[in-house]
Structure 1
Amino acid sequence: MVKRHGGCRHYYRKEIFQTIVKEGQLKGIIFTFVWAFDEEEDWEYVNEIKMLFESNRSNVVFIELEADIKERLKRNRTEYRLQEKPTKRNVDLSEQELKESVLRHRLQSLEGEIKHEQYLKINNMHLSAKEVADIIQQRFIT
């Protein structure tokens, strides 16, 4: 059985994060991750990354974005997304993977499930990226 996230992706991301922590030069990093809340492997991975940064006295904030499948499929075809995410350029394959992941996994947290103090869940169905960024900034930066 193939795991949802390949070992290589976890390995390379972890290597990058360890370098960031070691160098200590960045003021911040945004890391996106499609979290399968029904997969223990994903919980362990997120916790491992969280602990890596917190062990270096870095502030970790969790932002969960939610939108329905119809909206996600629409966004999957936007010019900017296709330009910035080469893995999404095969739109048919990308859409198939998105549909399958929604059927196979629980991709939204349950209320109270994420215990991290600095956590915010945003329904961004009808919000622009700027509006979402403003909400995050008001909550955690101001």
Structure 2
Amino acid sequence: MSDSTPPTLLFVIGPAAVGKMTVGGAIAERTGFKLFHNHLTIEPLLRLFPYESPQFQRLNHDFREQIFAEAAASDLPGLVFTLVWDFDDPDDAALVERYAAPFRARGARVLFLELSADQSVRLERNAGETRLAEKASKRDLEWSNANLVGMDGTMRLNSVDDFAHLPGAHLLVDNTRLEPDEVARRAVEHFELV
């Protein structure tokens, strides 16, 4: 384990196709943090197991927890992790806490950049070239668009007062009309990441 300043963990959260991976990449470029978008574990496992299978779920979470543990113990300046979080699902909150635990154990900063955008804009972004290149499972746009709309209808994907107990550790940005670099600039400035 490194004795240096512990790496920062920045969660970039929000609904599907809101721009988490793109904004996370822009933050990584500005800070030297490493981007770990959620599909880095999802896509390889989907080649082997269906998403809802016990094998997929177990391996996906095991791989991620190992990556978080290693990153927290490393000399990285920080890690950006993207995910969709259902704020009405206590299992999602518990999962986020498990991922953050090795960072918190080292006294690291754990931060939350939350993105929101109009559904119509997210449906356009859902077909974006970078998104489809990184996320093969999203290339069936008929299914992917229906999944996006379905998630919006059944899950609470943006917070209300969920971060009131973490002043300064949360930033909400409506990026409906903002470029990723502008969102990254705001986040880096707000969280004082450089």
Whether the TM-score (by the shorter chain) exceeds 0.5 is yes
Q: How far 1:79 sits from its partner (Å)?
A: 1.0
The DSSP-based 3-state class of the residue aligned with 1:106 is coil
Determine whether 1:81 maps to 2:131.
yes
Q: Structure 1 unaligned segments of length 5 or more: list them.
A: none
Equivalent of 1:16 in 67, 86, 96 = 67
Structure 2: distance between partners of 1:14 and 1:49: 6
Q: How far 1:7 sits from its partner (Å)?
A: 3.8
The DSSP-based 3-state class of the residue aligned with 2:173 is strand
Q: Scaled by the length of structure 1, what TM-score is found?
A: 0.87
**Per chain length, whose mean CA-contact separation is higher, i.e. which structure has more relative contact order (CA < 8 Å, sep 6+)?**
2
Determine whether 1:99 maps to 2:149.
yes
Structure 2: distance between partners of 1:41 and 1:63: 20
Structure 2: distance between partners of 1:93 and 1:109: 26
Structure 1: distance between partners of 2:72 and 2:112: 18
Give the corresponding residue for 2:114: 64
Deviating beyond 4 angstroms after TM superposition, the runs of 4 or more aligned structure 1 residues are: none
Q: 1:98 to 1:6 in 2, by over 3 A?
A: farther
Task: Point out the structure with the larger strand share.
Answer: 2
Determine whether 1:47 maps to 2:97.
yes
The DSSP-based 3-state class of the residue aligned with 1:136 is helix
Structure 1: distance between partners of 2:60 and 2:166: 24
User: Could you tell me the percent identity over the aligned residues?
Assistant: 32
Alpha carbons 1:62, 1:116 under 8 Å: kept: no
Q: Structure 2 unaligned segments of length 5 or more: list them.
A: 1-51
User: How many residue pairs were aligned?
Assistant: 138
**Equivalent AA in structure 1 for residue 109 of structure 2:** N
Determine whether 1:35 maps to 2:92.
no
Q: Scaled by the length of structure 2, what TM-score is found?
A: 0.65
